[in-house]
Structure 1
Amino acid sequence: MTSQPSTIFLLSGSKPIPIIQEFLENLDNMYGSQKFTCFLEKFVSKSIDVLDIRILNDSDFEKLGISSIGAKTKLVRKVKNYSLS
């Protein structure tokens, strides 16, 4: 099994984008253990990375089992810290 890099750099000088596990762990550290990493398996099984969260709609979140408005808001707000350029 190959190890996954802990961050992805899109362009030289841009803010590093964490892998989904690290992103969710950071949210757990801010808001409480297992509040976000409990969704890790679903994100991985659907091949959703951190930047994909920016374009998820309410239906997508529901399919992932995320119905809490607060959880959705926190995910989207945090992902806005990372950009494509």
Structure 2
Amino acid sequence: MHEGSIENPPTLPLFGMSSSKELRTPPQPTQQPYLSLQPQYYAYIPPYPSFPLLSPQSHSAVSSPLKKVPSMKEFLNELNETYGEGTYTHFETSFMEQEVLVQFISEFTNTDFKKLGIKKIGWQKVLRRATLKILSWVK
């Protein structure tokens, strides 16, 4: 080896393979191949509400047994028990003269009610809602 200059860089010793030692890598433990764990994105789907199956035999607060549509007299009597004696039964004659069935009261317009003598808005609302409640029981 000689010292060099800018024009002649120094020579470096070369090592041959005969003088080198074999480098051994330590044995790797046996393991599963590397799996790439990429984040996966899913759309959130909220759970579908499950409701218990209703049967005519069940008597829970959620379901009531299936009923038939009451007669006009029965219907008006039930409303009287809830809202006061005589409040609704005095309309029975008007309903009978016009041949009104209970299941159609929910479809009445304000004009229809006025023709029957039911002029108060509160009475009209009670009759409509009570009819809808009965229709939800009937199948």
Relative to the length of structure 2, the TM-score reads 0.50
Letter of the structure 2 residue corresponding to residue 38 of structure 1: H
Please say if 1:45 is aligned against 2:45.
no
Query: Shift of residue 29 of structure 1?
Result: 0.5
Instruction: State the identity %.
Output: 31
1:33-53 deviations in Å (ceiling 9; x for gaps): 110000000000000010110
Q: Alignment partner for residue 78 of structure 1, among 104, 123, 130?
A: 130
**Counterpart position of 1:27:** 79
Tell me the TM-score normalized by structure 1: 0.80
Instruction: Report the AA paired with residue 101 of structure 2.
Output: D
Q: CA RMSD in A?
A: 1.6
| Structure (1 or 2) with the larger CA radius of gyration | 2
* Structure with the higher fraction of residues in strand conformation: 1
Give, in whole Å, the separation in 2 of the partners of 1:72 and 1:54. 9
1:4 matched residue in structure 2: none
Structure 2 residues without counterparts, runs of 5 or longer: 1-55, 57-64
Shift of 1:82: 2.4
Show structure 1 runs of 4+ deviating over 2 A.
12-15, 82-85
Counterpart-to-counterpart distance in 1, 2:74 and 2:115: 22
Residue of structure 2 equivalent to 1:67: 119
In structure 2, how many angstroms separate the alpha carbons of the residues matched to 1:69 and 1:18? 23
Q: Distance in 2 between matches of 1:25 and 1:63?
A: 21
1:15: how far off?
2.3
Count, aligned residues: 74
Tell me the alpha carbon deviations over residues 14-37 of structure 1, each in whole angstroms, 9 at most, x when there is no partner.
Answer: 421100010000000100011000
